[in-house]
Amino acid sequence: MTAHGDLTTRLSDRAKAILKANDRGGYTVPTSIGLYPAQWNWDSCLTALGFATFDEPRAWREIDSLFDHQWPSGMVPHIVFRDDDSSYFPNRSVWRAGKNGETSGITQNPVAAMAVRHLYDHAADRDLAHAMALRLAPKLVQWRLWFDRARDPRGVGLAAVLHPWENFDNSPVWDGPLAATPSGPDVQRLRKDLGFADATERPTARDYGRYIGLLLHYRDLGYAEGAMFDTAPFRVVDVGFNAMLHRSTEDLVHLLEAIGDSEAADGIRPLLHRSAAAFSRLYDPTDRFLYGYDDLTGARLRTPAVSGLLPILAFDDAAERFPGVIDHLEGWMNAAAFALPSFCPTHPDFDPKRYWRGPAWLVVNWLLAEGLRRNQRSDLAERIRQDSARLVERSGFYEYYNPLDGQGLGGPDFTWTASTYLLLEAA
């Protein structure tokens, strides 16, 4: 074996060890250091894919355990609290949501159906895959219908997010809509995240107050979906969120067909056609980029964040539908030492260290690589894979990385980073 092959084997073993170490018995925490002492929705779905490279039953369990906490409405919450959550703020005593108060009261990037289809299509254990698909498909349908009802009640074809934590926490895309919300309480002294990660790598005090202000607004409404949508101080239609929703809807239709439930597939398919048509209104032909909008004011959010590149994940003709988008992606790649910054690296608001305002995230790299492959750009997908491996080789399995120098940021030994590494190396 070559020296590099050796290194890949060693890092893959390390990645598996991280997944096992962060396993709390049927679900994983994002990192063991206490920064996130609970189960996070999209972390778990993407972590299942890494588990599947060496333990398929455990992979299915990760998603199953998340859906055990699906709300009767169909919503799948963004956090499920289980054990001691005292190292996290806001923990369950603040959220007070879900059955027995064990969850948060908002949702998160809808990647579950995409993950389940991936597990199903790649499974060696076909009997298990079939049984799990039969079990999870109706739950995935319920979640998809919840988005339609609770987040797109006017039938536009695009779902709104009501809290930045439902998508890319402190993305510059939110700056305008978030600034228009009440300033919220001063929670700097209550924050626990700053005890685990440097303040320059985390959202600001101004943003955190508003995050908690929104939480309290929704809590006062008892998390009633209609009232939340109607009175939300923050309601944004985001490109990346809807790209993940569209892709997951497509994968759900595929899954339903695969398990022989054509009736359910036929019920979901119109949502796919509607969202495909609605995406055209997000494309800006002048900038050759996709932007979301503030659903309260109708204003286009002209902010070049990685969200605007994610439609390549949703459409296999993205280059024709949205000319220029893949060129932007390549341009960002050329402007940074490591793929891919979460925000345009030449924009004045680019911050290479602060969470979703510039750092590279391996999970996003995987989503983009998937999108590039489906758009016949395996050359760029391969560059992303190589850059992702270089990040891990340089710094270990961090939550996110400075795309200019590769420094690891946020939490160490991060579950979904380890999962993504396994996934990229297995592709």
DSSP characters over 151-180: H-TT--S-PEESSGGGSSTT-GGGHHHHHT
- Give the active site residues: 169, 399
* 87 near ligand DGY (CB under 6 A): no
SS3 323: coil
Q: How buried is 289 (Cβ within 10 angstroms: 0-12 exposed, 13-18 middle, 19+ buried)?
A: buried
Report yes or no: 314 and 282 within 8 Å, Cβ to Cβ: no
Nearest CB to ligand DGY, comparing residues 78 and 235: 78
Binding residues for ligand DGY, how many (CB under 6 A)?
A: 3
- How near is the Cβ of 30 to ligand DGY at its closest, in Å? 9
Nearest CB to ligand DGY, comparing residues 132 and 197: 197
- How near is the Cβ of 355 to ligand DGY at its closest, in Å? 8
Query: Binding pattern to ligand DGY, positions 159-178, x when CB under 6 A?
Result: ------x---x---------
- How near is the Cβ of 195 to ligand DGY at its closest, in Å? 13
- How near is the Cβ of 8 to ligand DGY at its closest, in Å? 30
Six-digit token pair at 92? 């369950």
* Segments of 62-149 assigned E as strands: 79-80
Nearest CB to ligand DGY, comparing residues 12 and 420: 420
* 42 near ligand DGY (CB under 6 A): no
* CA 97/CA 80 separation, integer angstroms: 10
Which residues have C-beta within 8 Å of that of residue 141, sequence separation ≥ 6?
Answer: 252, 256, 264, 267, 268
* CA 357/CA 368 separation, integer angstroms: 17
* 234 near ligand DGY (CB under 6 A): no
- Residue nearest to ligand DGY according to CB distances in the complex: 165
Nearest CB to ligand DGY, comparing residues 42 and 289: 42
Q: Which of 377, 394, 397 is nearest to 333 (CA)?
A: 377
* CA 126/CA 301 separation, integer angstroms: 45
C-alpha radius of gyration, the chain, whole number: 20
- How near is the Cβ of 398 to ligand DGY at its closest, in Å? 15
Nearest CB to ligand DGY, comparing residues 30 and 50: 30
Report yes or no: 166 and 157 within 8 Å, Cβ to Cβ: no
- How near is the Cβ of 57 to ligand DGY at its closest, in Å? 28
* CA 152/CA 159 separation, integer angstroms: 5
Angle at 245 between CA 242 and CA 249, to 5 degrees: 140
Q: Which amino acid is at 73?
A: S
Nearest CB to ligand DGY, comparing residues 164 and 371: 164
Which positions lie near ligand DGY, rule CB under 6 A? 78, 165, 169
